[in-house]
A and B are shown apart, each in its own frame.
Chain A
Amino acid sequence: MSSLDNPTSTLPIGPVHVALEEPMYFRLDVEGETVRGVELTAGHVHRGMEALALRRTLFQNIVLTERVCSLCSNSHPFTYCMAVENLAGIPVPERALYLRVMAEEIKRVSSHLFNLAVLAHIIGFKSLFMHVMEVREIMQDVKETLYGNRMDLAANCIGGVKYDMDAELTRFLLSSLDRVEGAVRKIAKIYGSDVMILRRTRGVGLFGREDARGLAVVGPVARGSGLPLDVRREAPYAAYPRLSFEVVTEQDGDVHSRAMVRMREMEVSIDILRQCARDLPAGPLSVLLPEIPAGEALARSEAPRGELVYYLRTDGTETPNRLKWRVPSYMNWDALGVMMKDCKVSDIPLIVNSIDPCISCTER
């Protein structure tokens, strides 16, 4: 371990660790409680999905991409379908565009609630963890009622959606949203004022605006450092051009501001869901599909963790020639090196959680 010439010792965190939701290995050089160096090793949940995608048909790949990871399980098939539609020039019906947005925002609310609950768990605030997870349960009920599933919604298909909303479901959704909104406001007040949370998260894992620009981070990590990056605003897709919403940013660039970005984004998402429920146009849910031609296409969307990019190349057969996706956690990963610089050992799990890493997505 430590010696007189070399005051640092090695601390292994992971691949199996209580505070990490997924396997990841950190090799830390620590000096007492202070971290002097970090080395990241990944690869524990690599499943060869991109290779697998080349052996599945374009339709089977919807099912495959939905299983890349559980928390953003709607964003993957959604963006994949958009890539196919962009390639073949398929016009998606207006009603389907709204329904797609709804599935996406419902997933965003529960994903953010999950991340905030884990933050409470990491600082040992078990009661708050239980409470936030209980609120998330309302969203889980919404998903189960609307889609029949708690995690994988199976909402998307090429050229449209697979589910519909009727008046009764809309009423249920709106009443659930009211409950969640009240609870989220209360939770926001707790996270914004509780002494224990402020002490543990303020000024921890600092990541400035210039760092954020330099490392090209995306999603709540960028927005927590004051960069208003949001694909929904920059390159609107689906029904987003017709919806009004705010791009939430916080200026401090610490663990707390990233948490508060997620907190406020939930309220924005709830508002988007209400607009969708109000404006939902009538019409078909999907269109008849043309032959998918040879070609290549790109699609991007704002997943709960940030920008998700899908690249698709076809050769006219029913299997893709290449399917490649770039996930938000991949872009945010390097930020950990900056955030963890000279931090305390106790802050490591907090910092890792603050970028909301999705390791299954990143390694697939």
Chain B
Amino acid sequence: MNDILPALFHMLVFPGGLFAVAAGLLLKGLDRRVEARLQRRVGPPLLQPVFDLIKLAGKETLIPATANRAAFLTAPLIGFTGMAVCAALIPVSGAYSGLAGMGDMLVLFYLLPLPAIALMVGGSASSSPFGALGFSREMCLMLAYEIPLLAVLLAVAMRVGAAVGGGAELSLSAVAAHQIAHGQFIADPVMWPAFIAYLLFLPGTMGVPPFDVPEAETEIIEGPLLEYSGPALGFFHLTSALKSVVVLGLGVAMFFPAPVPGGAFVNVLWFLCKCAGLMLVSLTVVKSATGRFRVDQAFTFYLRYPAPLALASLILVWQGA
């Protein structure tokens, strides 16, 4: 019982739940603002994602007559809870070391696809043909980007494991602690291919251009999200905000977790800054410089570039370079 209360706190308040939602929405606002500036637009206010959510909360959730009601309404919650748990696993160096003793990198790998699965469940439950198309596209894309992710996670785990006495170190807080003590992986040439692979993984998992295939607005009019409205749609947006904190935070923890001197509060801010930096590089700039792949092109892209890069790091680590 004593373990459960702090764990719940971490999942619901900090760094999961409330904190991650707030951070995710802020990051989204920043993303939209910077993208607008890159396109010489003014862009919405920083808090626009929050306003959007408030508006959605006050609206009616319409359920298509032919939809499977239960699955249609549960799907948004699946993704949301999955991401709230994930957020609690991300260490914020200098402020929070992650839920200890849970082999968290494996858990993360299993939980990360949940929002995509939620999207697929929701899309097929909505009984819309666009949802069905979105389902198959999401599935295809997920298969493609999970491969480099797995290789990156393994490369990081084995790199730390090799340093502390063989095997793989699957605790994210240990990974972060090791780097703080022995230098960050972003400065380690062996890990550079893995870092690049992770940068390429981010737009795919976040579903932004050039990998926004499952929701392609001009092709299948947002696919699985098409039939969603009101709070249910809001939950999908919340999930996406949470997920951005999780994947960006995971990137920070795996490659440049070092804290700055100062208290916990300063380090939380520092963590957010690093997330924002990672987001601007891997999502915002990429998104405003590219169009959209076709689903087959996106699939081959992931097999052709990020997967070999991540594997290269993995092999180098394995060979003890």
In the assembled complex, which residues on chain B have CB atoms less than 8 Å from the CB atom of A128?
291
CA distance A123 to B290 in the complex (A): 9
Check A295 for interface membership: any CB of B closer than 8 A. no
In the assembled complex, which residues on chain B have CB atoms less than 8 Å from the CB atom of A345?
133, 219-220
Using a Cβ–Cβ cut-off of 8 Å, how many residues does chain B contribute to the interface with A? 32
CA distance A66 to B286 in the complex (A): 42
Report whether A33 and B136 are in contact in the complex, using a CB–CB cutoff of 8 Å.
yes
Report whether A346 and B219 are in contact in the complex, using a CB–CB cutoff of 8 Å.
yes
The B interface, classified by DSSP as helix, strand, loop or mixed, is: helix
Kindly provide the distance from the CB of B101 to the nearest chain A CB, expressed in whole angstroms: 43
CA distance A200 to B213 in the complex (A): 13
User: Which residue of chain A is the closest to B127 with respect to CB atoms?
Assistant: A1
Over the window 136-147 of chain A, the binary record of Cβ atoms lying under 8 Å from chain B Cβ atoms (1 yes, 0 no) is: 000000000000
Kindly provide the distance from the CB of B303 to the nearest chain A CB, expressed in whole angstroms: 16
Kindly provide the distance from the CB of B224 to the nearest chain A CB, expressed in whole angstroms: 15
CA distance A199 to B291 in the complex (A): 10
Report whether B40 and A33 are in contact in the complex, using a CB–CB cutoff of 8 Å.
no
Identify which of A8-16, A39-47, A81-89, A334-342 touches chain B.
A8-16
Report whether A126 and B133 are in contact in the complex, using a CB–CB cutoff of 8 Å.
no
Tell which of A120, A126, A197, A346 touches B216, judged by Cβ atoms closer than 8 Å.
A346
Report whether A130 and B39 are in contact in the complex, using a CB–CB cutoff of 8 Å.
yes
Check A347 for interface membership: any CB of B closer than 8 A. yes
User: Which residue of chain A is the closest to B133 with respect to CB atoms?
Assistant: A345
Check A4 for interface membership: any CB of B closer than 8 A. no
User: With contacts A1-B129, A12-B129, A199-B297 known, is A19 near B291, CB below 8 A?
Assistant: no
CA distance A41 to B136 in the complex (A): 28
Over the window 211-231 of chain B, the binary record of Cβ atoms lying under 8 Å from chain A Cβ atoms (1 yes, 0 no) is: 011001111110000000000
Check B210 for interface membership: any CB of A closer than 8 A. yes
CA distance A70 to B35 in the complex (A): 31
In the assembled complex, which residues on chain B have CB atoms less than 8 Å from the CB atom of A33?
133, 136-137, 295
Check B19 for interface membership: any CB of A closer than 8 A. no
Report whether A122 and B294 are in contact in the complex, using a CB–CB cutoff of 8 Å.
no
Check A32 for interface membership: any CB of B closer than 8 A. yes
CA distance A115 to B156 in the complex (A): 48
In the assembled complex, which residues on chain A have CB atoms less than 8 Å from the CB atom of B213?
346
Check A121 for interface membership: any CB of B closer than 8 A. yes
Kindly provide the distance from the CB of A259 to the nearest chain B CB, expressed in whole angstroms: 13
CA distance A123 to B213 in the complex (A): 10
Check B14 for interface membership: any CB of A closer than 8 A. no
CA distance A9 to B130 in the complex (A): 11
In the assembled complex, which residues on chain B have CB atoms less than 8 Å from the CB atom of A167?
none
In the assembled complex, which residues on chain B have CB atoms less than 8 Å from the CB atom of A32?
136
Kindly count the residue-residue contacts between A and B in the assembled complex, taking CB atoms under 8 Å apart: 87
User: Which residue of chain A is the closest to B219 with respect to CB atoms?
Assistant: A346
Chain A, 96-136, CB within 8 A of any chain B CB: 120-128, 130-131, 134
Report whether A196 and B221 are in contact in the complex, using a CB–CB cutoff of 8 Å.
no
Report whether B218 and A18 are in contact in the complex, using a CB–CB cutoff of 8 Å.
yes
Check B41 for interface membership: any CB of A closer than 8 A. yes
Check B172 for interface membership: any CB of A closer than 8 A. no
Report whether B218 and A197 are in contact in the complex, using a CB–CB cutoff of 8 Å.
no
Tell which of B39, B210, B216, B287 touches A196, judged by Cβ atoms closer than 8 Å.
B210
In the assembled complex, which residues on chain A have CB atoms less than 8 Å from the CB atom of B59?
none
Over the window 38-80 of chain B, the binary record of Cβ atoms lying under 8 Å from chain A Cβ atoms (1 yes, 0 no) is: 1111000000000000000000000000000000000000000
Tell which of B39, B295, B296 touches A126, judged by Cβ atoms closer than 8 Å.
B39
Kindly provide the distance from the CB of B22 to the nearest chain A CB, expressed in whole angstroms: 27
Check A344 for interface membership: any CB of B closer than 8 A. yes
User: Which residue of chain A is the closest to B137 with respect to CB atoms?
Assistant: A33
In the assembled complex, which residues on chain A have CB atoms less than 8 Å from the CB atom of B221?
17-18
Check B289 for interface membership: any CB of A closer than 8 A. yes
CA distance A130 to B39 in the complex (A): 6
Chain B, 217-251, CB within 8 A of any chain A CB: 217-221
User: With contacts A12-B129, A345-B133 known, is A196 near B294, CB below 8 A?
Assistant: no
Kindly provide the distance from the CB of A167 to the nearest chain B CB, expressed in whole angstroms: 33
Check B270 for interface membership: any CB of A closer than 8 A. no
CA distance A196 to B218 in the complex (A): 16
User: With contacts A1-B132, A18-B217 known, is A124 near B212, CB below 8 A?
Assistant: yes
A residues near B, CB below 8 A? 1, 9-12, 17-19, 30, 32-33, 120-128, 130-131, 134, 194, 196-197, 199-200, 344-349
Question: Given known contacts A32-B136, A120-B291, what 11 new A-B pairs fall within 8 Å (CB)?
Answer: A11-B129, A30-B133, A33-B136, A33-B295, A121-B218, A194-B291, A344-B296, A345-B220, A346-B294, A346-B295, A347-B294
B residues near A, CB below 8 A? 35, 38-41, 129-130, 132-133, 136-137, 209-210, 212-213, 216-221, 287-297
| 27 CB < 8 A contacts A-B | A11-B130, A17-B221, A19-B219, A30-B129, A33-B136, A33-B295, A123-B218, A123-B292, A124-B218, A124-B292, A125-B209, A127-B38, A127-B289, A131-B39, A131-B40, A134-B40, A194-B291, A196-B291, A196-B293, A200-B293, A344-B294, A345-B219, A345-B220, A346-B213, A346-B219, A346-B295, A348-B219
